[in-house]
């Protein structure tokens, strides 16, 4: 039988979700923990990949089991997982739905703070920028759902079949002091480092190093810039994953905490 596991994780200590030899990943921690509880190797399939130090306030993976367990898996798994990975739900599924391929929409949030604060450094990206042009950044953000080819915002576009992404919504939000910024975007798929590259361009616009017209030119022309500098990873969250048959609210909403 197939089960979906609904989790969240703070990614600062990890090389990302995906398991790689010689590094610590979220997938490795979960497979090791489940292997201890089931007393045999367990393979998990995640709903996507996150870069090193990127977080997920909502993430799903699936596991296939031959026989249903006879112990409190929810309690025991949370007990042995580290504090920066939490299990929220275990959901039995009919048939063989796929945690990665069946997702129809993913939502990300990217948080920025413009003053040094030791209590935000692990959860939000610090950019010491006091005079960002927020209006220009919002105008550029509003352009994103109008285009569907994000080749200019992909780190390695020639390594994938296509760079089409259907962005359903995008927004930029700022608190009253102007010290905290949240970029929010939803789409059917995302490219390698796409969101961090977009945020980096928005910061360029905010500083006056790029115009909104130049930003739109990249969207329209699909030209890959010679120099691509993604924004810092620690401000990025995978915050919602939606399936045709499963649409759960995230257990933790960081918008209020970080805003």
CA distances from 222 to 93, 140, 161, 166 (A): 40, 16, 15, 15
Is 237 buried (19+), middle (13-18) or exposed (0-12) by CB count in 10 A? buried
Give the predicted TM-score (pTM) of the model. 0.94
pLDDT, one tens digit per residue, over 191-232 is 999 999 999 999 999 999 999 999 999 999 888 777 788 999
Does the pLDDT value for residue 245 go beyond 90?
yes
Share of the chain above pLDDT 90, in %: 84
Decide if 102 is catalytic. no
Which one of the listed residues 51, 64, 122, 175 is annotated catalytic? 51
Pull the structure tokens for residue 199: 């945020």
Q: What is the mean pLDDT of residues 175-186?
A: 93
């Amino acid at each position: 039988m197939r089960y979906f596991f609904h989790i969240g994780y703070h990614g600062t200590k990890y090389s990302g979700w995906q398991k790689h030899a010689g590094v610590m990943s979220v997938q490795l921690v979960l497979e090791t923990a489940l292997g201890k509880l089931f007393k045999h190797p367990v393979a998990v399939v995640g709903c996507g990949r996150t870069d090193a130090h990127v977080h997920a306030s909502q993430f799903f993976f699936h596991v296939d089991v031959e026989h249903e367990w006879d112990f409190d898996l929810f309690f025991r798994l949370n007990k042995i997982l580290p504090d920066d990975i939490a299990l929220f739900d275990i959901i039995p599924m009919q048939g063989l739905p796929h945690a990665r391929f069946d997702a129809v929409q993913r939502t990300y949030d990217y948080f920025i703070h413009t003053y040094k604060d030791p209590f935000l450094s692990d959860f939000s990206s610090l950019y010491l920028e006091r005079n960002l042009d927020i209006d220009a950044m919002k105008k550029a953000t509003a352009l994103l759902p109008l285009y569907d080819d994000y080749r200019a915002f992909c780190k390695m576009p020639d390594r994938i079949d296509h760079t089409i992404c259907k962005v359903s919504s995008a927004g930029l939000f700022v608190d009253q002091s102007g010290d905290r910024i949240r970029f929010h975007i939803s789409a059917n798929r995302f490219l390698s480092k796409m969101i961090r590259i977009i945020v980096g361009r928005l910061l360029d616009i905010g500083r006056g190093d790029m115009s909104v017209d130049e930003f739109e030119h990249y969207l329209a022309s699909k030209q890959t810039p010679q120099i691509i500098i993604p924004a810092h990873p620690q401000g990025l969250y995978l915050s919602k994953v939606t399936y045709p048959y499963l649409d759960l609210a995230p257990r933790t909403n960081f918008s209020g905490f970080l805003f």
